[in-house]
Amino acid sequence: MEKLIYNIAMYKSKKYLINKYSLDWYQQFHKESRKYLYEIFPKVPDIGKSIFSFNYKFAPSYIAWYLTLEKMGISNDEITQIIWKINERMVHIIPAFLMHKVGKLYFSSFRKKAGQHVRKQETTGVHPYDWQIEYRNVSDNCFEIDIKECGIKKLAADFHAEGLLPGICRMDYLFANIMNNGFERTKTLGDGNECCNCRYFLEGSCEWSPEKGFIDRK
């Protein structure tokens, strides 16, 4: 799955990156990031079956892209924007008319399993690189999750890619916007807060608009 995520993302973003930078730039980026990816794979702990397993599978690609772009001399702000664009183009592999249904199904399933995840934390425990959360059901349309520990944050630190955060945290707004689901948050671990206080709405809307900044929404 991790290799598939990387390959789809690189394929879908190829035209954009060539147009913005150059063919030579893209070829160097692809070659170097792929090399990093295969170095990272054997060192990534397996968190097993978790409601966050899918999120975790994106981490090797994020880290490989970050390390490559950093090595290429790209500023941290631009690295963040490039990774945003790569994800945006990857997500668009799903037709727009299906995105809301996909998002609603994903979050409906997620909220059903969140309580089980919390109970596992409190009894047998979860993998050290799995997420530690608090979960609250607000209404039929809304639920909240406070993330106390994040597997991607831990993994990024292992590979000296801490600069990935809080940039990749902002992609929750991107995905919610594309899937036409509601999302709100004022704190993230990546910003140095004590938790990520996420509020999700199955039916709603979410503005992406990174040009407005991420002061009150994180």
3-state helix, strand, coil in the chain (%, to 5): 60, 10, 30
Residue range 105-122, pLDDT digits in tens: 888 999 999 999 999 999
Rounded Cα distance between 16 and 102, Å, is 25
Name the pairing type of β-strands 132-137 and 196-201.
unpaired
Angle at which helices 23-40 and 2-20 cross, to 10°:
160
Query: What per-residue confidence (pLDDT) applies to 95?
Result: 83
Identify any residues that bridge with 182 across adjacent strands, giving them in sequence order: 201
Give the model's pLDDT for residue 97: 80
Name beta bridge partners: 147: 133, 196
Tell me the whole-structure pTM to 2 decimals.
0.95
With a cut of 50, which residues of the chain have pLDDT below it?
Answer: none
pLDDT of residue 32: 98
Token couple for 92: 């668009």
pLDDT number for residue 195: 98
At residue 126, the pLDDT reads: 97
Calpha distance 115→39 (Å, rounded): 35
